[in-house]
Structure 1
Amino acid sequence: MKRIGVLCVGNDSPGINSAIRAAVVKGLDLDIEVMGIRDGFEGFLKDNLDVLLRPNVSNILHQGGTMLGTSLFVPEGEELNRVKEKVEQYGISTLLIIGGRLAARSAINLMKIGIPSIIIPATIDNDLSFTDFSIGFFTAIENVKNALDVLHSTAESHHRVMLVETMGKPSGWIAVIGGLAGGADYIISSAEKPNFDELIEIIRKRYEGKKRFSLVVVESGVEIPEEIKKECKVSEKESSAIIVGRYIEKHLKELGIEWRYTNLGYLQRGGSPSAMDRIIATQMASHAVEMVKMGKVYHAVGVKGFSITEIPYSDTIVNYRPVDYYLKELTKLFY
């Protein structure tokens, strides 16, 4: 019987439990034993792992987060040799590494010392170069859309500009797609240089017309030009969304515009996974186990449309993937 180890590296994302469940069920079907490694490679080095059976993964499909826990620890140097010792100690033939770019970095490091693995992409940022979609992205943009729907009513009632800060730097996927789905009136992301003149003009036209409110989505950490920071007299530690708010206040003072700021933060990452995240997680994890059965390792699993893909490891799998140009341009139709 082959034995694989499943662990998470990096931040949690909704749908990871769906992937763990699928790996266990598929493993049992193919006569492959699955060991759940808790708290990533940190837990592995502390012997924090157990064999997973059907009862262990029952009723987790709808749960957010990860039942195995996770950590940001990426093994390097001497730590890689310790991981190799643990792999040999427990008779693990392949590691299934669930996560984003930290998972990819870990897999590349392990490959260099001969530890087989397969990456299952899971990050709400959706910024991995080898897959169209990552586990957790669909839930994250649904959460952003829901937040914008809620803020819409209070923005309209009080005639305010609502600044909504999202995660996702520097790929722009959450801000652009979440903002587009939630009817944002303007989106500022790392995908392109912010145009503050355009922003002010759009808000001005709305207030001079019948729509005296605006929803502006700002990606956390988006680069704000130095001249804008100096003009608004803000510190280096001030969030990008707040700088945008102060700029709006300064340049539209004659209209008496008020603005409010909401940082969605970890609300984007939590909660029960959406249907799409459950489906792609189940597809990719099941396929990863089939690859183990065939002896095919050192590959990342991905999706192109609804088709599963297998991408050989290379240094490029850690690259960022910016939001598609067409989707970015599509948002401008609604400004």
Structure 2
Amino acid sequence: MKRIGILCVGNDSPGINAAIRSAVVKSLDLNIEIIGIKDGFNGLLNDELDVLLRPNVSNILHQGGTILGTSLFIPEGEKLKKVKEKFEQYGLTSLILLGGRLAAKAALNLMKENIPSIIIPATIDNDLSFTDFSIGFFTAVEQVKKALDILHSTAEAHHRVMIVETMGKPSGWIATIGGLAGGADYIITSVENFDLKKVIEIIKKRYEGKKRFSLIVVESGVPIPENIKEECGCTTTNNSAEIIGKYIEKNLKDELGIEWRYTNLGYLQRGGSPTAMDRIIATQMAAHSIEMVKSGKNYHAVGVKGFSITEIPYSETIINYRPVDYYLKELTKLFY
């Protein structure tokens, strides 16, 4: 009998539980034993493993987070050799890694020690080069859209500029798609150089017309030119979104009386019940990964192209960033 170990590597994302559930159900259907490894590779090293059966994954489809826990730890050197020892000790035939770029790095390390594995992409950033979509992205975008819908009314009531900070650096996917869906008036990401003077012009034009408010989406950690920081009197303690807000206020408050407010969505983008799409792609990819193990295929990353499942052999390219699609980024400019 084949025995698979399943674990999470890196940050959590909504839909991981749906993938775990699918992997367990498919494994049992194919007469494969599946072992849940708690808290990433730490759980394997600390002997925190349990056989997973249907009762263990009942009623978790809708739950955010991960029932297995996760860790940012990636084994290297002596720790990697210890992982191999544990892999052999427990009679595992393959590992399934749920995660983003950290999981991809871990998979490449495992391959060097001839430890078979398969990656299922799970990251809200949606920045993996080998798949169109990753588990958790759709839920994160939905949270950004909901936040913009809510902030729209208070921004309009007080005639304010709302700065909304998202995760996703440096790929730009969450800010771009969430901003488009939520009707943002301007979207700033790390994908391209942005012009704050243009932002000022757009806001000013809106205030001089009937739209006396603006919603600006800013990807966390976008680089700000030094001259802008100096002009606003900002230091390293100020994050990018705050600097942009101060710049807007400095240039428009005296002329138009514009005030700004700042909202960092932070971990709200990671939490909550996964959307339908995240549940579907998680279920598809996890079931397919079990079929791959059954057929003896390892050292591959599972992905999706549209609704089709893909298999990508491991190479150094699986850790590459994938920036937001150029057309989607250009589409945002139609609404400026």
TM-score, L = length of structure 2? 0.99
Q: Which amino acid aligns with 1:36?
A: G
d(CA) in 2 for partners of 1:128, 1:226: 31
Q: For residue 65 of structure 2, what is the aligned residue in structure 1?
A: 65
1:4-43 correspondence runs (5 A): 4-43=4-43
Secondary structure of the residue aligned to 2:125 is: coil
Q: Which amino acid aligns with 2:130?
A: F
d(CA) in 1 for partners of 2:229, 2:93: 53
Q: For residue 219 of structure 1, what is the aligned residue in structure 2?
A: 219
CA contact (8 A) 1:194 1:224 kept: no
CA contact (8 A) 1:129 1:320 kept: yes
1:105-120 correspondence runs (5 A): 105-120=105-120
Q: For residue 179 of structure 1, what is the aligned residue in structure 2?
A: 179
Give the superposition deviation at 1:236.
1.2
Q: For residue 49 of structure 1, what is the aligned residue in structure 2?
A: 49
**Structure 2: 5+ residue runs without aligned partners?**
none
- 1:112-168 CA-partner distances (Å, limit 9, x unpaired): 010000000000000000000000000000000000000000000000000000000
Q: For residue 229 of structure 2, what is the aligned residue in structure 1?
A: 229
Q: For residue 267 of structure 1, what is the aligned residue in structure 2?
A: 268
CA contact (8 A) 1:164 1:261 kept: yes
Q: Say what the alpha-carbon RMSD is for the aligned residues.
A: 0.4
d(CA) in 1 for partners of 2:105, 2:249: 43
CA contact (8 A) 1:300 1:312 kept: yes
Give the superposition deviation at 1:52.
0.1
Q: For residue 291 of structure 1, what is the aligned residue in structure 2?
A: 292
1:184-333 correspondence runs (5 A): 184-253=184-253, 254-333=255-334
d(CA) in 1 for partners of 2:68, 2:193: 39
TM-score, L = length of structure 1? 1.00
d(CA) in 1 for partners of 2:240, 2:172: 14
Secondary structure of the residue aligned to 1:198 is: helix
Q: For residue 159 of structure 1, what is the aligned residue in structure 2?
A: 159
Secondary structure of the residue aligned to 2:143 is: helix
Give the superposition deviation at 1:237.
2.3
d(CA) in 2 for partners of 1:273, 1:24: 19
Task: Select between 277-286 and 250-259 the one with higher mean Cα deviation.
Answer: 250-259
Give the superposition deviation at 1:174.
0.3
Using the aligned pairs only, state the percent identity. 79
Secondary structure of the residue aligned to 1:126 is: coil
Q: Which amino acid aligns with 1:154?
A: T
Task: Select between 26-35 and 230-239 the one with higher mean Cα deviation.
Answer: 230-239
Secondary structure of the residue aligned to 1:276 is: helix
Q: For residue 75 of structure 2, what is the aligned residue in structure 1?
A: 75
Deviation >4 Å, runs of 4+? none
**Structure 1: 5+ residue runs without aligned partners?**
none
1:130-169 correspondence runs (5 A): 130-169=130-169
d(CA) in 2 for partners of 1:226, 1:306: 44
d(CA) in 2 for partners of 1:334, 1:47: 54
d(CA) in 2 for partners of 1:28, 1:41: 24
d(CA) in 2 for partners of 1:291, 1:255: 62
d(CA) in 2 for partners of 1:237, 1:122: 31
Q: Which amino acid aligns with 1:38?
A: K
d(CA) in 2 for partners of 1:124, 1:4: 25
- 1:53-111 CA-partner distances (Å, limit 9, x unpaired): 00000000000000000000000011111000000010000000000000000000000
